């Protein structure tokens, strides 16, 4: 591993599993220090034992502004500064436009878009207060560009995350704070296993993905870390799609697998 992140301090939300965990592991391997935020209190408690002295964890509701602000404060108190924010936490409750409950819509938008807003805004405020340059990476989704059945809350919130990224890049560019998004296609994570374990779903996806497989979390982490690194020093406001060329072929119709009827 290189020392790309030597002396850098990062916040990684959703950092105990999947893409977030791989980002945290690589940051530490490349010289950084990481504060991991997650709702999973038990997993957070063992972060130091797992990742070593350059890692700490805080149980955080990333949809709550005050809780996220406390996360930033604790990061600076522990490590002395803040250079990088990776807004990875996300998820959804499925539903169609006409059938989704308001509660499920609100849950999904808050988890994806509010959390990215909190991390981007509060991370930027800290960097500005220190008078330093920094980098923020928001994990969006291919669904920021391509709709899917039963995904109205997810697609809308991820599209909002991409435009939030562009808006932040516009406003923060003069201060030298770069803001980018990475948009994965299908990734093999604990979060997606509930869907891909349904018989036939993985095959339906693979038929549409030219590379014929889902991504591994470390492949998305590599893209996010590139955007955060000095190798991407003139990249800001971008949405890097990492999907195995899936966007060239369209989204599968999942209604037959999820209890609906094909149109």
Q: Please, which contacts does 255-261 make with residues 24 or more away whose CB atoms are closer than 8 Å? A: 255/149, 255/150, 256/200, 257/198, 257/199, 257/200, 257/201, 257/204, 258/94, 258/149, 258/150, 258/198, 260/96, 260/149, 260/150
For 55, the enclosing helix (H) or strand (E) is: strand 55-59
245 sits in the region (left: phi over 0; alpha: psi -120 to 50; else beta) called: left
Q: Is 150 a catalytic residue?
A: no
Give me the catalytic one of 150, 154, 205, 251: 154
Q: Dihedral of CA 116/117/118/120: which sign? A: positive
Long-range CB contacts (within 8 A, 24+) of 241-244 = 241/142, 241/145, 241/183, 241/185, 242/182, 242/183, 242/184, 242/185, 242/215, 243/142, 243/183, 243/184, 243/185, 243/186, 243/209, 243/215, 244/185, 244/209, 244/210, 244/211, 244/212, 244/213, 244/214, 244/215
Mapping DSSP to helix (H, G, I), strand (E, B) and coil, where does residue 218 land?
A: helix
What is the set of active-site residues?
154
């Amino acid at each position: 591993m290189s020392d790309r992140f030597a002396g850098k301090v990062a916040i990684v939300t959703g950092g105990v599993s999947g893409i977030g965990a791989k980002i945290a592991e690589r940051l530490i391997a490349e010289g950084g220090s990481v504060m991991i935020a997650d709702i999973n209190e038990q997993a957070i408690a063992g972060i130091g034992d797992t990742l070593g002295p350059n890692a700490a964890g805080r149980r955080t509701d990333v949809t709550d502004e005050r809780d996220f602000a406390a996360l930033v404060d604790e990061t600076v108190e522990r490590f002395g500064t803040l250079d990088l924010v990776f807004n990875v936490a996300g998820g959804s409750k499925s539903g169609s436009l006409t059938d989704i409950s308001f509660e499920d819509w609100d849950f999904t938008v808050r988890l994806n878009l509010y959390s990215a807003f909190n991390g981007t805004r509060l991370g930027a405020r800290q960097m500005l207060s220190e008078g330093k340059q920094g980098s923020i990476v928001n994990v969006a989704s291919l669904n920021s560009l391509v709709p899917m059945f039963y995904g109205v809350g997810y697609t809308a919130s991820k599209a909002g995350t991409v435009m939030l990224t562009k808006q932040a890049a516009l406003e923060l560019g003069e201060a030298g704070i770069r803001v980018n998004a990475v948009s994965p296609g299908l990734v093999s994570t604990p979060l997606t296993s509930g869907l891909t374990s349904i018989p036939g779903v993985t095959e339906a996806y693979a038929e549409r993905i030219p590379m014929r497989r889902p991504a591994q979390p470390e492949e998305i982490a590599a893209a996010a870390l590139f955007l955060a690194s000095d190798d991407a020093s003139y990249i800001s406001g971008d949405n890097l799609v990492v999907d195995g060329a899936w966007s060239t072929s369209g989204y599968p119709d999942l209604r037959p697998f999820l209890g609906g009827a094909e149109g």
